[in-house]
Amino acid sequence: MSKRTIVAMPGDGIGKVVLDEAIRVLDAAGFDAEYVHGDIGWEFWCTEGNPLPDRTLRLLEEHKIGLFGAITSKPKDKAAAELAPELRDKGFVYYSPIVSMRQRYDLDICMRPCKTFKGNPLNFIRRGFGNTIEEPEIDTMIFRQNTEGLYGGVEWTNPSDQVYDALMSHPKFKQNFEWCPRPELAVSTRIFTKKYTERIVRAAFEYAKSRGFDAVTVCEKPNVIRETSGMMLKIAQDLAKAEYPGIWVNNTNIDAQMMWLTKNPETYNVIVAGNMFGDIVSDGFAGLVGGLGFACSANIGPEIAVFEPTHGSAPKYADLNPSIVNPIAMILSACMMLDHIGEPEISNKIQKSVAEVIQEGKVKTYDMMKLPGKQDVIEKGAATTQQMADAVIAKIVK
Ligand code: NAI
Ligand code: MG
């Protein structure tokens, strides 16, 4: 097979540090690829008025697979203030490059695995029968619809006549909100389409089938949000009946699901949800298996796919030298990329090495030692970012 080309988009802050480490691990595991650098992030907002320059889009369109670190986003007024003086008042508006990338390339399938690594000191434990301590083994894949719903961006403050009239045509709006002066009204929509809802639900079923799991949990709130949550549940029930005999649809509400997180998380293997609830439930599960230093994700579209840790650019840690942040979330995101492009052996080799390093417990980044993140963590025995990657590499090449 010809050599793969991967678009490497480090972005800002610790994104730059962890992506380099993940590439070192990929190289050591024998993944034969060329990495082309894609500009993305705050720097390009400030200097070009665009955090996702067209040249990066062209690279993604050509090579189809992206590895992304993290970006920095700031509120509207700060974004405007940091724009280069010659670009000010020229109509540039900041938008999140990762959200734009997801929408532009239909990266509608977001997968966020949350899996317990044996020996991780950050694993969730609970009290069991007779005051015993239990450490449930969690193996959950969250399928989050990535482009629609509450994060679809269709929203208004002080809506126009047209929008207001449309809202007033709904009896509930008239009854509950007519009293509110229009300039004091903010509306964010939650739009679900059958096409994309079916795509995410189907992805969840396919995964359940491939792993031999007998249930898919739809985590929404159909008893209250009848139209959109109701649509997702109905699609799941219809699909199960028509195409996935042997897989049953479990229906949970997002609020109750968050409560059950600490009660029986090990019983949920496949969860599917809309954009916001998927975001919430995946952070919840990530917290049970080590938090941001371990949380990886895939954004998959019909043609293009981008893999990223769920953490941000952690500016507080960006300039620490040596770096102290945990590269595992980025390394595991790279493994998701390998699985997606048909390199499961290399992916498994890396994941096995990560698991061995964690289980051995000799090399731990500051988060795994539950220390406040400061430079002095190294003196306290924490591994640097590079040392953690080195430990994984040592297991790979042994
Ligand atoms: P963050 O995820 O960057 O950091 C929050 C905290 O989590 C850090 O202070 C640190 O204690 C911990 N943490 C994060 N990554 C870690 C790692 N690899 N190892 C160990 N600990 C880690 O979120 P925050 O501080 O809310 O946002 C910082 C910037 O990142 C903001 O500008 C935000 O908009 C952006 N952001 C970008 C994301 C992306 O690129 N996908 C996602 C989330 C935030
Ligand atoms: Mg989030």
Query: Is 299 touching ligand 1 by the criterion CB < 6 Å?
Result: no
Query: How large is the greatest C-alpha to C-alpha distance in the chain, in angstroms?
Result: 70
Using the predicted structure, report yes or no on whether residue 308 has a pLDDT greater than 80: yes
Name, in order, each residue with C-beta under 8 angstroms of 117's C-beta and a sequence gap of 6 or more: 123, 289, 290, 294, 354, 355, 358, 359
pLDDT, residue 75, reads 86
Residues 159 and 283 in one domain: no
Domain boundary among 258, 288, 318: 288
pLDDT-based confidence at 359, cuts 50/70/90?
very high
In a domain, 274, yes or no: yes
Name, in order, each residue with C-beta under 8 angstroms of 149's C-beta and a sequence gap of 6 or more: 190, 191, 192, 228, 274, 275, 276
Contact of 194 with 187, CB cutoff 8 Å: no
In a domain, 76, yes or no: yes
Q: How far is the CA of 389 from the centre of ligand 2 (A)?
A: 25
- Residue 67 carries which side chain, given as an amino acid letter? L
pLDDT, residue 231, reads 98
Contact of 208 with 216, CB cutoff 8 Å: yes
Q: How many CA atoms are closer than 13 Å to the CA of 99, on its beta-carbon side?
A: 13
Residues 270 and 336 in one domain: no
Q: Give the burial class of 291: count Cβ atoms within 10 A of its Cβ; 0-12 exposed, 13-18 middle, 19 or more buried.
A: middle
Per-chain mean pLDDT for the chain: 96
Domain boundary among 188, 212, 243: 188
pLDDT-based confidence at 3, cuts 50/70/90?
confident
CA distance 125 to 143: 25
In a domain, 63, yes or no: yes
Using the predicted structure, report yes or no on whether residue 351 has a pLDDT greater than 80: yes
Measured by CA distance, the residue closest to atom 42 of ligand 1 is 312
Measured from the Cβ of residue 186, the count of other Cβ atoms closer than 10 Å reads 11
Residues 34 and 181 in one domain: no
CA distance 140 to 271: 7
In a domain, 117, yes or no: no
pLDDT digits (tens, 9 = 90+) for 361-380: 999 999 999 999 999 999 99
Residues 72 and 131 in one domain: no
Contact of 182 with 159, CB cutoff 8 Å: yes
What's the whole-model pTM score? 0.96
Q: How many CA atoms are closer than 13 Å to the CA of 190, on its beta-carbon side?
A: 17
Q: Which atom of ligand 1 approaches the CA of 327 most closely?
A: 18
Residues 90 and 197 in one domain: no
Query: Is 331 touching ligand 1 by the criterion CB < 6 Å?
Result: no
Closest ligand to 292 CA? 1
Tell me how many degrees the CA angle 191-195-199 measures, rounded to the nearest 5.
Answer: 105
Measured by CA distance, the residue closest to atom 6 of ligand 1 is 314
Residues 135 and 168 in one domain: no
The average pLDDT across 218-227 equals 98
- Residue 238 carries which side chain, given as an amino acid letter? D
Signed CA dihedral, 178, 180, 185, 191: sign only? negative
Using the predicted structure, report yes or no on whether residue 338 has a pLDDT greater than 80: yes
Q: How many domains does the chain have?
A: 3
Measured by CA distance, the residue closest to atom 23 of ligand 1 is 312
Residues 266 and 211 in one domain: yes
The average pLDDT across 205-221 equals 98
Measured from the Cβ of residue 49, the count of other Cβ atoms closer than 10 Å reads 18
Which CATH number does the domain housing residue 383 bear?
A: 3.40.718.10
pLDDT, residue 76, reads 83
pLDDT digits (tens, 9 = 90+) for 156-196: 999 999 999 999 999 999 999 999 999 999 999 999 999 99
pLDDT, residue 9, reads 98
Measured from the Cβ of residue 398, the count of other Cβ atoms closer than 10 Å reads 7
Residue 7: closest CA among 34, 36, 32, 49? 36
Map residue 348 onto helix, strand or coil.
helix
Using the predicted structure, report yes or no on whether residue 1 has a pLDDT greater than 60: no
In a domain, 85, yes or no: yes
Residue 288: closest CA among 308, 309, 317, 268? 268
pLDDT, residue 166, reads 98
Residue numbers of the domain that contains 209? 124-152+191-288
Measured by CA distance, the residue closest to atom 43 of ligand 1 is 312
Residues 270 and 131 in one domain: yes
Residues 30 and 101 in one domain: yes
Residues 132 and 267 in one domain: yes
Closest ligand to 332 CA? 1
pLDDT, residue 10, reads 98
Measured by CA distance, the residue closest to atom 44 of ligand 1 is 312
For the chain, give the percent of residues with pLDDT over 90: 96
pLDDT digits (tens, 9 = 90+) for 58-77: 999 999 999 999 999 998 88
Q: How far is the CA of 226 from the centre of ligand 1 (A)?
A: 34
CA distance 384 to 176: 55
In a domain, 115, yes or no: no
Closest ligand to 377 CA? 1
In a domain, 350, yes or no: yes
Query: Is 281 touching ligand 1 by the criterion CB < 6 Å?
Result: no
CA distance 73 to 238: 40
Residues 259 and 323 in one domain: no
The average pLDDT across 261-271 equals 96
| Token pair listed for 62 | 């050509």
Query: Is 291 touching ligand 1 by the criterion CB < 6 Å?
Result: no
CA distance 272 to 257: 12
pLDDT, residue 2, reads 67
CA distance 103 to 196: 12
The average pLDDT across 132-144 equals 97
CA distance 368 to 361: 9
CA distance 342 to 34: 16
In a domain, 118, yes or no: no
Domain boundary among 288, 317, 349: 288
Contact of 324 with 375, CB cutoff 8 Å: yes
| Token pair listed for 327 | 């590269």
Residues 216 and 275 in one domain: yes
| Token pair listed for 165 | 């009239």
